[in-house]
Amino acid sequence: MASPPPAAGRLLVVATPIGNLEDLSPRALAALREAALVYCEDTRRTGNLFARHGLSTARVSCHEHNEFRRIPEMLERLARGETLALVSDAGTPGVSDPGRLLAAAAAEAGHRVEPVAGPSAVAAILSVCGFPAVPFSFLGFPPSRRGERARWYARFAARDETRVLFESPFRVVESLEEMARAWGDPRVCLGRELTKLHEEVLRGTASSVAALLGRRPGVKGEIAIAAAPSAAAVAAHPGVGADLADDAEREGGPEGDDAAGTDE
């Protein structure tokens, strides 16, 4: 493995809060102060975080439409020995957010790419879902078009592990209904507005949670969903997720355990 050049810079990949701005870690705060420049998915969103914590580091946009074009400029700065930071709007860059291309280019050029770990909606929903987390699959966002979404769900139907995905509040009901059809109506844990004032966690079958949300027009907020392993997987591996079948028998409909208990 090649050693970094003498003047190698550093790219700090910094996880930022997924909702509650107090979740920015002291190390992340120090990294953002230390950086000569911060690449942001949206400079305005990051500006709110900076204002809350008194940060004044220069910012520049780096999103899905211009990330590739940012690479030459970033490499020039790193070659001068600068420390740069990369953030997304919320959570960890590169995890269903921009940042992968910058990290790959910096590493390929021999520069240090350091994770400043922190908030992640994937880890958050896994921590509360109660489903087996070893192993699990993170699937990102389903396609927005109905036909493509149906094929997408069919592709992952037989997974023998917990499946985690994100969904838009505008499509979550249709998406859960498609999940119910393709995945045999699995038990799900749906987190909405995680770490925020109106945080809500719903549990039940995919169809029952879809029905509940369908009765709430104008559902808002970021949504993360964990779906239990397939019934076929549980049957094939009785020791994994066997308790989920018992849960399904005991609980007929969705239940919420949100702290606020109110919708937006």
- pLDDT computed for residue 191 by the predictor: 97
Q: How many CA atoms lie within 13 A of 118 on its CB side?
A: 28
- State what percent of residues in the chain have pLDDT above 70: 84
Domain annotation for the chain: domains and CATH numbers: 10-116 (3.40.1010.10), 121-256 (3.30.950.10)
Rounded to a whole number of angstroms, the CA Rg of the chain reads: 20
What are the tokens at 219? 């559902």
In whole angstroms, what is the distance from residue 183 CA to residue 88 CA?
31
Start-to-end CA span in the chain (Å)? 52
Mean of per-residue pLDDT scores for the chain: 87
What global pTM score does this model have?
0.82
Q: Tell me the pLDDT tens digit for each residue of 102-148.
A: 999 999 999 999 999 999 999 999 999 999 999 999 999 999 999 99
pLDDT at 36 over 60: yes
pLDDT at 253: 55
Q: What gap in Å lies between CA 171 and CA 182, rounded to an integer?
A: 16
For residues 228 and 205, give the distance between their C-alpha atoms in angstroms, rounded to a whole number.
Answer: 10
Residue 263 confidence (pLDDT): 40
Contacts 24+ apart (CB under 8 A), 45-49: 45/89, 45/90, 46/16, 46/87, 46/89, 48/21, 49/16, 49/17, 49/21, 49/24
pLDDT of residue 227: 97
d(CA 82, CA 76): 9
Give the pLDDT of residue 30: 97
Kindly report which listed range (24-33, 182-191, 217-226, 246-255) carries the lowest average pLDDT score.
246-255
| pLDDT above 80 for 254 | no
Burial of 183 (0-12, 13-18, 19+ CB in 10 A): buried
